[in-house]
Structures are given as C-alpha cells and as structure tokens.
Amino acid sequence: MKPNSLRELYVEQLKDLYDAEHQIIKALPKMIDAAQTGELKDALNEHLDETKEQANRLEQIFKDLGEKPKAEKCKGMQGILQEGNDLVSEIKDDNVRDAAIIASAQRVEHYEISGYGTARTYAELLDQPDAAELLQQTLNEEEEADQVLTNLAEDINREAVSEDGAEEAEEEERRSRSSRTRRAA
Ligand SMILES: [Fe+2]
C-alpha cells in the first residue's frame, strides 16, 4: 500500500520498525555467541531483552491505533545484519572479531535511532502522545545501547590494534627467515 497521508506513512514506518526489531531478535543470539569479551556479551544480551520489549511497545502502539501489528520487510536492516554477519563469520582473531561486532551493532543502532526519531515526531504531529512517549522510550534505549558500545569499543579496538602489532612482528619474522633461506640457497 502506498501511503497517502502522514498517518499512513506513520503506520508504514511502524511496520518497518516492527520488522527490524524482529530481525534483530533473531540476529543477536548469533552475535552474542561470536563475541568473546564478557562485557560485550553482557551488553548484547541486555539489548536483546530490551529489543523484545521494544517490539512489545510497537504492538501496543498498533493496538492503540486500531491496527493489527504487521511487519513489513525492512530491507535496510536486512542488509546491515547480513553485512555484519558475513564480516564477523570471516574473522578468526577474537579481538578483531569483537571490534567488528561492535561496528556492526552500532550501524544497527544508528539505523534504529533514525527510524525511531522519525516515528516519534510523526506521533507528536498526529497527536498521539502515548505513542510518542513509548517511541521516545525506545529511542532513549537505542541511544544508551550505542553509548555502551562506544565505551566498550575504546578498550576492544585498542586490543585489536595490538593484534596488528603482533601480526606485523610475525610477518617481519617470516620475511627475515625467508630471506635467510634464500641467502643460504
Ligand atoms: Fe531496537
């Protein structure tokens, strides 16, 4: 259905967000399994619980609007999650993988922050203060989750950098060994 009014556009946005939350609920356990840093696992686990609650909030909003909660494929979120999953599954080093999980999770959060900001503003314009309040609550949680990830990244990215140092040293060692072998030959 093509939206022809702000109300219809609002409902479309809610369906998109509803689908995005369900995709995240499905994707997070895999990210939690892949994470090795305890704090990162905990943060993602906590956000999984929050995400379930966020989906419930959207159901409440649909109900108040007299609409059936319906998901409409959020292709943007699908792409972000697919890209994150592909990247994370290719990385062998634990610290670098954790850094990639954070990078991917923050893309998810920023995408949601944008969607919830819009939906909250539409709810205000359409005189739906209860919905605006619920959407604002979720928006706050997404922003907090993003901040937690930024804080974790500060340590984890540094660990990943020192991994680069270790790899360079190994590479240097390999190079000098092979030049020694060539000289000996
Ligand atoms: Fe969310």
Q: Which protein residues have their CB within 5 A of the ion that is ligand 1? A: 51, 54, 112
Degrees, nearest 5: CA angle 4-6-10 = 110
Average pLDDT, the chain: 93
Whether CATH 1.20.1260.10 fits 6-155:
yes
- Distance from Cα 142 to the centre of ligand 1, integer Å: 6
What separation in Å is there between the alpha carbon of 13 and the centre of ligand 1?
14
Q: Which helix (H) or strand (E) holds 49?
A: helix 38-65
| pLDDT > 70? residue 120 | yes
pLDDT-derived band of residue 163, with 50, 70 and 90 as boundaries? Answer: low
Cα 115 from chain centre: 13
Give 23 Cα–ligand 1 centroid separation in angstroms. Answer: 10
As a whole number, mean pLDDT of residues 44-57 equals: 98
- From ligand 1's centre to the CA of 2, what distance in Å? 25
Nearest to 31 by CA among 119, 128, 116, 108: 108
Residue 181 — very low, low, confident or very high, per pLDDT cuts 50/70/90? low
The per-residue pLDDT for 182 is 67
H and E: helices and strands count for the chain: 5, 0
Mean pLDDT of 23-28: 98
Give 114's contacts (C-beta < 8 A, 6+ positions apart): none
Is pLDDT above 90 for 53?
yes
Q: 173 pLDDT band (50/70/90 cuts)?
A: confident
Distances 1 to 11, 59, 69, 94, 119 between C-alpha atoms, Å: 11, 20, 15, 45, 18
> How far is ligand 1, taken at its centre, from the CA of residue 43, in Å?
13
Instruction: Output the CA 26–ligand 1 centroid distance in Å.
Output: 12
**Full-model pTM:** 0.87
Confidence tier at 30 by pLDDT (50, 70, 90): very high
Please state which of the ranges 40-49, 85-94, 129-138, 168-177 shows the lowest mean pLDDT: 168-177
Given a contact cutoff of 8 angstroms between Cβ atoms, the answer to whether 97 and 141 are in contact is: no
